[in-house]
């Protein structure tokens, strides 16, 4: 019993320390100013005017409805407590949910590692590496981005796909899609796993039903989050328009991201510009998407 309790206690210490460090960094840093102003303005508008009036004519808001509910809650708390935009507490509130999600992701790494053969101590080390990853700390606590809340549903989706729990995986993918359109980049992985499930299932009719049911569940989450914003009559067209406008609004290889395309010199480079081996940045991006999709589908 003592051996079982000790690693769990150590895990809680790692997670609590990681959360405390994130919130401390959030209090003493100002974040990426462009996104900070957008997040605060969106939260204030949603809290003051409600979802039906949020996407008004000429108003810039390139996020789909999913995470706007969190920003609206932040706006409501700030309004109730009289917290100014320049206050450090505003920065902390913006970083709170992504910070918690980062720590849950670290706990998920621990749980997955414990299912393997690495042992409790190595599982704890892997969780600590995740919890204190400098890139995650910077992204969540310093720049105050929402990627922690976006990647956690994707991680849960992939874990459930590995366990062949296809329908719950589709729901988590739908939540990620409701938060950011970038979830569509991982859609081929979901499709490949569902198609593999059809090949492995003896009851093909049931497998095809599960495939279409999974697609419906994945779309249901963004639709449900969008109803208060767009209404039922215009829900489909307005939601599709929001996603297409957002995806077409950033025609660059990479934007201030710590990723491979940025390392190759693609930061703020137009997709049509030449990159490597006679390919444009857009073509190179598709090559990488195909490689990553194949790798994730395999694993």
Q: Are 134 and 151 contained in the same domain?
A: no
Summarised one tens digit per residue, pLDDT across range 134-145 is: 999 999 999 999
Q: Are 238 and 297 contained in the same domain?
A: no
* pLDDT tops 60 at residue 3: no
The sign of the torsion formed by the CA atoms of 30, 31, 35, 40 equals: negative
Distance CA 51, CA 53 (A): 5
Decide: residue 27, CB within 10 A, 0-12 exposed, 13-18 middle, 19+ buried.
middle
Summarised one tens digit per residue, pLDDT across range 92-126 is: 999 999 999 999 999 999 999 998 888 899 999 99
- Of 150, 181, 177, 173, nearest to 248 by C-alpha is 181
**Number of domain units in the chain:** 3
Last residue of a domain, one of 121, 144, 167: 144
Distance CA 254, CA 260 (A): 9
Average predicted confidence (pLDDT) for the chain: 90
| Rg of the chain over all Cα atoms, to the nearest angstrom | 21
Q: Are 3 and 129 contained in the same domain?
A: yes
Last residue of a domain, one of 94, 110, 144: 144
Q: Are 177 and 100 contained in the same domain?
A: no
The range of the structural domain enclosing residue 270 comes to: 252-299
**Mean pLDDT on 243-263:** 86
- Least confident range of 5-9, 158-162, 178-182, 256-260: 5-9
How far is residue 153 CA from its own chain's centroid? 7
Judge contact between 218 and 174, C-beta under 8 A: yes
Q: Are 294 and 229 contained in the same domain?
A: no
Q: Are 261 and 195 contained in the same domain?
A: no
The residue that leads in pLDDT, 41 or 118, is 41
The predicted model scores a pTM of 0.87
- Of 100, 99, 123, nearest to 8 by C-alpha is 123
Summarised one tens digit per residue, pLDDT across range 42-88 is: 999 999 999 999 999 889 999 999 999 999 999 999 999 999 988 99
**Mean pLDDT on 152-176:** 94
């Amino acid at each position: 019993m003592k051996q079982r309790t000790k690693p769990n206690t150590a895990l809680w210490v790692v997670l609590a320390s990681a959360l405390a460090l994130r919130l401390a960094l959030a209090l003493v840093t100002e974040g990426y100013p462009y996104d900070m102003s957008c997040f605060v303005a969106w939260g204030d508008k949603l809290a003051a005017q409600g979802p039906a009036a949020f996407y008004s004519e000429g108003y810039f808001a390139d996020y789909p409805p999913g995470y706007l509910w969190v920003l609206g809650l932040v706006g409501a708390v700030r309004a109730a407590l009289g917290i100014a935009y320049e206050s450090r507490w505003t920065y902390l509130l913006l970083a709170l949910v992504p910070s918690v999600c980062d720590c849950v992701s670290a706990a998920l790494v621990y749980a997955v590692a414990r299912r393997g053969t690495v042992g409790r101590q190595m599982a704890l080390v892997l969780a600590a590496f995740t919890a204190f990853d400098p890139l995650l700390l910077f992204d969540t606590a310093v720049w105050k981005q929402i990627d922690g809340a976006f990647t956690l549903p994707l991680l849960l989706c992939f874990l459930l796909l590995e366990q062949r729990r296809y329908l719950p995986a589709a729901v988590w993918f739908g939540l990620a899609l409701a938060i950011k359109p970038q979830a569509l980049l991982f859609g081929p992985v979901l499709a490949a796993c569902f198609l593999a499930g059809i090949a492995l299932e003896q009851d093909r009719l049931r497998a095809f039903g599960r495939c279409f049911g999974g697609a419906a569940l994945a779309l249901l989450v963004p639709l449900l989050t969008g109803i208060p914003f767009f209404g039922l009559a215009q829900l489909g067209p307005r939601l599709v328009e929001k996603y297409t406008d957002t995806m077409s609004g950033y025609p660059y290889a990479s934007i201030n991201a710590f990723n491979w395309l940025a390392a190759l010199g693609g930061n703020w480079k137009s997709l049509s510009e030449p990159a490597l081996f006679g390919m444009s940045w857009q073509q190179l991006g598709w090559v990488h998407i195909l490689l990553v999709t194949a790798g994730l589908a395999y694993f």
